[in-house]
Structures are given as structure tokens and as C-alpha cells.
Structure 1
Amino acid sequence: MDSRQPPRLKASLPDVRPLDRARSLKVKLSVVVVVSVLIAASITWLGLRNGLGPTKTFPLAIIFSLSFTLLIARGMTSPLREMTAAVSAMAEGDYSQRVRATSHDEVGQLALAFNAMVEEIASSDQIRRDVIANVSHELRTPVAALHAQLENLVDGVVEPTPATLHTALTQTERLSRLISYLLDLSRIEAGAAELRVKEFAVGDFLEDAVGALTMLEAGKQLDFVVDVDPGDLTITSDPERLRQIVTNLVQNAIRHSPYGGTVTVVAREEGDEVLLDFLDEGPGIAVEDRERIFQRFARGGPNSRSVNHPTSGGTGIGLAIVRWAVDLHGGSVRALEAPKGARIHVRLPKNHTLVGHQPS
């Protein structure tokens, strides 16, 4: 049997499914019982009319009734056997097999859910493979550059000038950022982390966080705008986790901004919440991807942009870390429609008073 085709049943009995239109397994079983009884009664009646005794009539009635029952039951349970074969194939890494879901009853619904689950597992497995390859590349590039730089310094090929040391420092910082991403991902997988909150000024915090990222614009000559209203707005939050939110979203905006574009961070007070908007002038995010991009290892479609898309240069976990950090604060994050480019909207409670909080 070709391992990439749906599992086939043995050819001892045909796989017939005349009861697929029934929407309940109870109805199917009732039909099978009634028809089996009618077959047995009919054969018994015909046998007695033609002078056949009970010793010949009853065995024939039993044989025909059982044959009908086995034939129909085979078709009813066929999806369950196909699931068993598909699970065995999945255990060996083959996610191509699917269950033939033609009935409308509980077994058919289970088959549809099983196929959807296999699709999701196959997609997640492929995305994880892509992420591993992408992270490996991201690690290899700064390591190779740093190794070459240090080797030249040791061999005396170049002098330890401020420029060469700055290059080495840049690569080290790039490595540190990537390692921080991976550590954050492990915390997401564990499902727990601490919050250490304190009160601080939102304006000063955003100016400092965004200012530290302006060097990452890679010669795009971007303008960075931080707009806070009111100017003395404060928040009681975990500054380290909030910096993760700002850093990932601003890096995302930088990565997808066009040459000479503007990256805008807006903070507003609304009741007991602080609203943050991160806007850029890039290609935007497709409507169908606006929820999916915050999932771990998710990627946008071909006409959408996402930090998780392999061509974007990201590690594939930036927006997942954003959602994780926002959820720790009891807030929300989503992608909204923007007149131009993309808009990521974050809502955080203004006063988060839990210290050492661990999400359930």
C-alpha cells in the first residue's frame, strides 16, 4: 500500500455506506436491526411457504441477516479503522493520510475532526521545521561574523579599533536578542512566568525603548514618532515584560517599513486601561491573518506580512511573545485596520498590582 494514500481496507468485503445520510448513529443501528429482523422473517416465511422445515429455514435466515449486518457495519466502522491506520502512519512521521468522511453521524463528525487535527499537526510540524532552520540560520550568521572578526584580531590582520570592536559588539547583541527570544519561547511553553510590577511614566519609558531600537533601521532612514496623551501618563506594570512588547512590535514595524517611512507608537489613557498603538507604513496584514499571526510558529499568507514569515527575517516567535506578555498583564492584543500599513493595538490595565503572578 502506498503510504501517501488514504489507508485502504481489506478487500474481503466491499466498503458500502448506504446509511451515510443518517445524522445519528442510533438511527443507523435501528435501521440495521429492523432490516435484519425483516430479512430473517422474510426468509423464514418464504421457506415455510415452500415446504422447507425449520432446520433449513432458520440457518438461512441467520446467514443472510448476519451477512447484511456485517456488510453495513463494515461501512459504518470503516472511518474508525482508517483512523487507526492514519495514527500508525503519523507515529512514523507520515501526516499525508486522511480519513474518508462521507457520513453525517457522530462517526462522520469524528472523521472530519480527525482530518482537521491531522492538517493542523502537519502544518505545525512543517512550521516547526522551518522555524528550526530559520533560527539555525539566525544563529549561524552572527556566530560566523563574530568568529571571523575575533580571528582577524587574534592573527593581527586588523587592529582592535573602536569600529572593529563595535562590529563585534553588534553581533554579540544580535546573538543575545535571539537567545532571549528562545528563552521567552521556553517560558511560553511552560505556561508560567513572574510579573514584577512598579509604577513608571509611559512617555519616558516609550522614548527610551523606541530610542534603543532606532539603530536597527538598517539604513532605511525611518522617522520614529512617540505620542503619549496625557503627557504625564503613568502605568503600574512589569517594565521588563512591557519592554518585550514594545521591542518586538517596533522591530516588526521596522522590518516591514519602506525606505523613508514612519514608525509611530501612540499611548492613550482610557478609563482603567492604557491603549498602545504601533503603526507602520508597510504592506499591512491580511484580514485572514490578523488573529493567526499571534500564534506560535504561525505564518502569514503570501500576500500578507508577518514576523513569522520566513522571508521576513524574523525568528517566527516575536508576536507570540507579545501575546504571552500581554496575557500575563491581563490585557489584549490584536491587529486592526489601518489607513496605511499595519496597526497593532494593545490594551493593558493601568494598575496591575499582582507581584509574582503566575498565570493558570
Structure 2
Amino acid sequence: MSASRDGEGEAHLRVGERLDVRPLDRFRSFKVKLGILVAASVSVAALLTQVSIRAGVAPLLALPLVVLLALVFTQVLSRGMTSPLREMTSAAQAMARGDYSRRVRATSRDEVGQLASAFSAMASELEQTDSMRRDLVANVSHELRTPVAGLRAQLENLVDGVTEPDPAALEVALTETERLSQLVDHLLDLSRLDAGVIELDVETVELTPFLHEVVDAAALAAGGRDVRWIVEVEPADLTVPADAARLHQVIHNLLENAARHSPAGGRIHVTAARTGEGDGVHIDVHDEGPGIAREDRSRVFERFQRGGYADASGGTGLGLAIARWAVGLHGGTIEVLDDPRSDRAREGRSSLIRVELPGTLPAA
């Protein structure tokens, strides 16, 4: 039944397109079009009346024919004027059914044409938003399932007596709980991002003790991974105006990401220095992992992206997106730079991420 209706609709659309003549599209005002339509209809009626009189057609027969032909002429012109409105009605009905792929053909430059263009742009944005919503639900469901399944399995083993409630077993349960808590925190941050409800508590941050504090927290969260942490700040008393909590979140996410992808015994460098221009500061995080491909360098800062390749590192794909958001709040930038190691540079991959913060925060 549905396929039959769709076929009938497509056939009706093709017929409508053949009858859709738009000679008035060149005019920029719908009121001007109406005026031309009225003038043209009156002129056609007058011309047909004159022709019928010269042809000797009886008035009782000529009058209905003139009116009918004038109505047909008016219908042909008005159909082209109002066809975008009909297309928008059809597209809106399709949107109500969840189909955002319909677009309106906007050929005129008047108010109706502008409305049709705006409608098509809105439909495109709604299609992207709906796609993002579906991806978000699917990704969140997947990300929640992993720690919940691990936590449930561990607790079931403890309840059934398969595993003794020793510190090691409880540590596994705690790790999964912390992972779940982190995901929830990330989602809350993203909801604040989308709502635009953010306030910065700006203070002067001394980077040397600050970065050591963040590194200590990241090392603890790394769960004993075999990596070395190296912090270098030049000059040692370097400071930057920032929201300490948000900046901590940025650097911690970068360090956590670096630790997940570092090889055993790898080194993670955290360096800070003045930028080449002005009084801004750049903070670099560089690990010895496989790096991010050149074509994926912009995508990794999007939600649920992991450098363009699948991994089992346990990341949520939200850390870098939140880092970009928090850096943007400070008026700064975050990007993947070329790797200084020659072998990685030849491959086009890099694990060097730079955060640049201005010396003066933008006005709210």
C-alpha cells in the first residue's frame, strides 16, 4: 500500500513538473508578480473578446469561452508562482514522517523563493541534526554498555562466589565505575556546551606546579601504565590567565589520551612556553604512540571520534571534543601539529597536540 502511494505521488510530481511553468521568476517581488498576473489575465480576456467579436461568435457562447480561457491562462501562471509553496507543504509532511531528505526547488528571487531557499537550508540542518542525534544515541548506548557489562559481570562473580571480594576484584569494579562516571561527566559537559550555560572563573595560573599536579592526576588515572611523564616549562615562573578547573580538564584529557596510546615504556612530554607573538602561552602534549593521520587531524576533535581507527583503549571519543570546547571558551585554539620525529613526519601521522591560550581572555 505504501509503495503504491509513493508511486502515485511520484507520478503526480512528474505531471506537476511538466505543468510547472515559471516565466515570472525574474521578478523580485511577489506583489509585482500578482500585478502582472492580473494585468495579463485582463489583457488575455480583452484580446479573446475582441477576437470572438471579429469572428462573429455569439456573445452567449463567447463569454463563457473567454472566461474559461482566461482562467486557464491564469492557472498556468499562478501554478509556477505557488509551486514552491506546494513543495514546501509536501516536504513538511515528509519531515513529520521523519524524512528530511526532501528539498524545495527555488528558482524565483521573490519572497517565496527566499522562503524556499531558507526551507531547504533548514531541512538540511534538520537532517544533519537528526543524523547526529541517532549517532549520539547509538554511541552513548555502546559506550555505556561496556563499563556497565564489566561492572555487572564482576559483581555477579562476587555474589556467586566465583571471585573472592579481595582488593584486586574490588579494584576492577571500581575501575569500571570510574569509567562510567567519567562518561556521564563528559555527557554533562556536552549538554552544558549545547545549552551555552558556561561561566569561567578566571585566575592567574602558575603553569609549573599546575602541570605537575595534572600529570600526577593523569598518572594515577592511568592505572599503572608503563609510561614516563616529562614536564618542561620555560620560563619556570610562566603564568596564564585561565579557569584552572577547565584548563585542568583540557590537559588531563590530553594526557589521558596520550597514555592510552603510548607504547610500554613510552615517554609523554608536556611542555609550556610563550607563543612567538604577544603574551600568549602554548602547551604541547606529545607522546610516542602511533599518532593521528593527517586526514583525521580535524575530525579527532569531533564527538565520538578516535583518530580514524578503532581501538580497544577504552576511550569514549569525547575527551578531545570537550578539550576543544574548553579551549574555545578561553579564546584559544587546539590543533594537531606535524610530528618532529622524521619517521612519523614521512608517514603523515602525529601525536603532538598544541593548546594555545591568549594572554588576555576575550570579553564575555
Q: Smaller-chain TM-score range?
A: 0.7 to 0.9
The answer for unaligned runs of 5 or more in structure 1 is none
Quickly say closer, same or farther: Cα 1:159–1:20, change in 2 above 3 A. Answer: farther
Q: What residue in structure 1 maps to residue 77 of structure 2? A: 72
Asked if residue 198 in structure 1 is aligned to residue 198 in structure 2, the reply is no
Q: Of 221, 240, 254, which aligns to 1:249? A: 254
Following superposition, the deviation at residue 200 of structure 1 comes to 2.9
TM-score normalised to the size of structure 2?
0.74
- Partners in 1 of 2:156 and 2:313 — Cα distance? 31
Deviations 1:272-329 (A, max 9, x none): 4323344565233538x73x7656x5x76xxx9369x999965454344234323433
Counterparts of residues 258-273 of structure 1 (less than 5 Å)? 263-270=268-275, 271-273=278-280
Following superposition, the deviation at residue 116 of structure 1 comes to 3.8
* Secondary structure, aligned partner of 2:73: helix
Following superposition, the deviation at residue 178 of structure 1 comes to 0.9
Following superposition, the deviation at residue 177 of structure 1 comes to 0.8
Q: Contact 2:103 / 2:123 at 8 angstroms: preserved in 1?
A: no
Q: Of 326, 346, 352, which aligns to 2:355? A: 346
- Partners in 2 of 1:64 and 1:310 — Cα distance? 71
Q: What residue in structure 2 maps to residue 333 of structure 1? A: 333
Please give the root-mean-square deviation of Cα atoms over the aligned residues, in Å.
4.2
Q: Of 91, 96, 108, which aligns to 1:91? A: 96
Q: Contact 1:95 / 1:122 at 8 angstroms: preserved in 2?
A: yes
Following superposition, the deviation at residue 189 of structure 1 comes to 3.2
- Give aligned pairs, total: 345
- Partners in 2 of 1:260 and 1:321 — Cα distance? 28
Q: What residue in structure 1 maps to residue 148 of structure 2? A: 143
Structure having the larger proportion of residues in helix: 2
Deviations 1:328-355 (A, max 9, x none): 33x132435525426554333446699x
Following superposition, the deviation at residue 171 of structure 1 comes to 1.4
Asked if residue 50 in structure 1 is aligned to residue 55 in structure 2, the reply is yes
Following superposition, the deviation at residue 11 of structure 1 comes to 6.3
Q: What residue in structure 2 maps to residue 284 of structure 1? A: 293
Amino acid of the residue matched to residue 201 of structure 1?
A: E
The answer for unaligned runs of 5 or more in structure 2 is 340-348
Counterparts of residues 118-267 of structure 1 (less than 5 Å)? 118-214=123-219, 224-253=229-258, 263-267=268-272
Deviations 1:6-57 (A, max 9, x none): 7955968954134386373557556545543442232122123223466655
Counterparts of residues 284-303 of structure 1 (less than 5 Å)? 284-286=293-295, 290=298, 294=301, 297=303
Q: What residue in structure 2 maps to residue 22 of structure 1? A: 26
* Secondary structure, aligned partner of 1:276: strand
TM-score normalised to the size of structure 1?
0.75
Q: What residue in structure 1 maps to residue 325 of structure 2? A: 324
Following superposition, the deviation at residue 181 of structure 1 comes to 0.8
* Secondary structure, aligned partner of 2:293: coil
Quickly say closer, same or farther: Cα 1:218–1:32, change in 2 above 3 A. Answer: farther
Q: Contact 2:292 / 2:350 at 8 angstroms: preserved in 1?
A: yes
Following superposition, the deviation at residue 230 of structure 1 comes to 2.0
Following superposition, the deviation at residue 180 of structure 1 comes to 0.9
